[in-house]
């Protein structure tokens, strides 16, 4: 077998593979002999079928199969030994008048080559690294939520205010609506609807219109128990018969509540409670700040790292890569949609290689243990033993899909650490509300 390469330009090449009879003949003969031993052909004993008959029946198919095996093995070995960084897969060139009855064969493949480029992480213009904190309003709302969660419901004779909760049943016979639910009056959109409940007692009926009853129509879907398609645009009157009235009595901000939340003596005052809420929120928001940093650095690298791609080759490869072949127009459209992602894959690969970023098994175990510990803490298991974490991590990593998922997460973390070290960053402290407004609006 002889393999040669002709470089068309820096991004495109053609590889020619020549296969001679001596390369494949021995393999073909061996397969045919095995066929002869096991062939069941009427009129002949097993193992005594004439070789000429075996060759006539199976020879061409075996030849094609063995040549294709040699071709793929030789091509893959060549690409590895030559250390060619190719994009997509080699594409066989069409050959007119190809003759399988010949003894020697030549095949040609088009290659798309990865471009050479450098990545500069140190930009002149700094990238904002958001340090997201909980504002005073968010902290107060969280405290109120905690008080509600640990408070108690007190039964009432009549509805007195919008903070009351009213249980009952919605009905509309024509629309086949009959749903028992509990309403928090402060969730209702219009003050006029909320006022209809004031002074009402158990057994009273309140008539409401479903249109604009809540800010979010999904809340209406939940209380009426109707499907997603029906709730959108629903504009009918429903009767709500009150069966129970309760007021949420807030829990006292005392030491008993603090100990329930954080453990005995960990928090001893409302001031410390606010600090703890702010600290915990900061940890959660740090992930959002880091994700935004990853997004912004990605955009910067794509914009600032210039290189050409073998565009025509990649469009041709896209046409044939999927289960269903595409037209030229479809392949062009798909390439335009995926070009940005491909560029970043190459940039990311370059960064990983140049900075020797690796995911070792020991790192993966440690990373998995940290994630498991975080999950266990959510269910109140604050101090699991290291052996328990190790055993769970090893069970998780026995699943190859989990290995792939966690490896990608760990590599993203390594890239994030690299960006924090080398990219020109400008820290900016913002509340969560300010972050949402600045980034998403």
Q: What is the pLDDT of residues 260-276, one digit of tens each?
A: 888 899 999 999 999 99
CATH of 152-249, one of 3.50.4, 3.10.50, 3.40.50, 1.20.58: 3.10.50
Can you give the pLDDT at residue 164?
87
Distance CA 135, CA 349 (A): 39
157, pLDDT greater than 80: yes
pTM greater than 0.75: no
51, pLDDT greater than 80: yes
Can you give the pLDDT at residue 177?
92
Band the pLDDT of 376: cuts 50, 70, 90: confident
Distances (CA, A) of 210 to 26, 94, 217, 239, 244: 81, 65, 9, 10, 21
Region(s) of the chain under CATH 3.30.70.1050? 2-113
Mean pLDDT of 58-80: 94
Token pair for residue 152?
């108690």
> Which CATH number applies to 2-113?
3.30.70.1050
Quote the percentage of the chain above a pLDDT of 70: 100
Distance CA 19, CA 105 (A): 5
66, pLDDT greater than 80: yes
Average pLDDT, the chain: 91
Region(s) of the chain under CATH 3.10.50? 152-249
Mean pLDDT of 207-236: 87
* Cβ 428 vs Cβ 131: under 8 Å: yes
In this structure, the number of other CB atoms found within 10 A of the CB of residue 150 comes to: 15
In this structure, the number of other CB atoms found within 10 A of the CB of residue 432 comes to: 18
381, pLDDT greater than 80: no
Distance CA 35, CA 40 (A): 9
How big is the CA angle at 234 (ends 232 and 240), to the nearest 5 degrees?
Answer: 125
Mean pLDDT of 344-360: 95
Can you give the pLDDT at residue 56?
86
Can you give the pLDDT at residue 46?
75
Mean pLDDT of 54-73: 92
Mean pLDDT of 285-299: 94
Band the pLDDT of 149: cuts 50, 70, 90: confident
440, pLDDT greater than 90: no
Mean pLDDT of 136-156: 91
Band the pLDDT of 383: cuts 50, 70, 90: confident
Distance CA 186, CA 202 (A): 19
Can you give the pLDDT at residue 78?
96
Token pair for residue 76?
């893959």
| Per-residue pLDDT reduced to its tens digit, 29-49 | 999 988 888 777 777 777 778
Distance CA 439, CA 296 (A): 11
283, pLDDT greater than 90: no
Band the pLDDT of 57: cuts 50, 70, 90: confident
């Amino acid at each position: 077998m002889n393999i040669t390469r002709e470089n068309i330009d820096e991004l495109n090449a053609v590889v020619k593979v020549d296969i001679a009879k001596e390369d494949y003949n021995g393999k073909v003969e061996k397969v045919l002999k095995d066929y002869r031993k096991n062939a069941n052909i009427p009129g002949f004993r097993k193992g005594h079928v004439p070789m000429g008959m075996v060759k006539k029946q199976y020879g061409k198919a075996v030849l094609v199969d063995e040549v294709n095996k040699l071709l793929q093995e030789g091509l893959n070995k060549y690409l590895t030994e030559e250390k060619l960084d190719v994009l997509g897969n080699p594409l066989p060139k069409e050959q007119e008048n190809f003759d399988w009855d010949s003894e020697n064969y030549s095949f040609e493949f088009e290659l798309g080559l990865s471009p050479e480029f450098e990545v500069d992480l140190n930009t002149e213009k700094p990238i904002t690294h958001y340090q997201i904190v909980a504002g005073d309003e968010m902290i107060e709302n969280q405290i109120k939520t905690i008080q509600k969660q640990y408070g108690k419901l007190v039964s009432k004779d009549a509805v007195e205010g919008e903070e009351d909760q009213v249980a009952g049943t919605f009905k509309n016979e024509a629309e086949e609506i009959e749903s028992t639910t509990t309403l928090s009056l402060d969730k209702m959109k219009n003050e006029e609807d909320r006022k209809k409940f004031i002074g009402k007692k158990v057994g009273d009926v309140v008539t409401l219109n479903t249109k604009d009853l809540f800010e979010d129509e999904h809340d209406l879907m939940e209380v009426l128990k109707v499907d997603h398609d029906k709730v959108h645009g629903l504009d009918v009157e429903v009767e709500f018969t009150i069966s129970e009235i309760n007021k949420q009595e807030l829990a006292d901000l005392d030491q008993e509540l603090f100990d329930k939340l954080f453990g005995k003596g960990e928090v001893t005052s409302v001031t410390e409670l606010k600090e703890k809420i702010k600290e915990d929120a900061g940890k959660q928001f740090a992930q959002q700040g880091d994700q935004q940093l990853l997004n912004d650095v990605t955009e910067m690298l794509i914009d600032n790292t210039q290189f050409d791609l073998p565009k025509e080759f990649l469009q041709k490869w896209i046409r044939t890569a999927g289960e269903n072949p595409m037209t030229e127009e479809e392949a062009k459209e798909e390439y335009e949609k995926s070009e940005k992602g491909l560029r970043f894959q190459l940039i990311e690969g370059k960064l990983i290689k140049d900075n020797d970023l690796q995911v070792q098994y020991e790192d993966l175990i440690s990373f998995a243990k940290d994630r498991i510990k975080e999950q266990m803490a959510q269910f109140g298991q604050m101090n699991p033993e290291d052996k328990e974490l190790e055993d769970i991590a090893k069970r998780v990593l026995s699943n190859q899909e989990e290995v792939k998922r966690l490896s990608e997460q760990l590599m993203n973390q390594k890239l994030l650490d690299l960006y924090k070290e080398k990219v020109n960053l400008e820290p900016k402290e913002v509340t969560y509300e300010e972050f949402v407004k600045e980034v998403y609006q």
